[in-house]
Amino acid sequence: MKDFLKIMLASALGFIIANIIFSLIAMIFFFGMMGSLAGSFTAEKYVLEENSILNLKLNGPINERVAE
Q: Which amino acid is at 3?
A: D
Does the pLDDT at position 68 exceed 70? no
The DSSP output letter for 63 is P
- 30/1: higher pLDDT: 30
What pLDDT does residue 43 have? 61
DSSP result, 5-50: HHHHHHHHHHHHHHHHHHHHHHHHHHHHHHHHHHHHHHSPPP-PPT
User: For residue 3, is pLDDT > 70?
Assistant: yes
Given phi > 0 = left and psi -120 to 50 = alpha, else beta, which region is 30? alpha
For position 25, what pLDDT does the model report? 98
0.85 exceeded by pTM: no
pLDDT tens, residue by residue, 16-64: 999 999 999 999 999 999 988 887 777 677 788 899 998 888 898 888 8
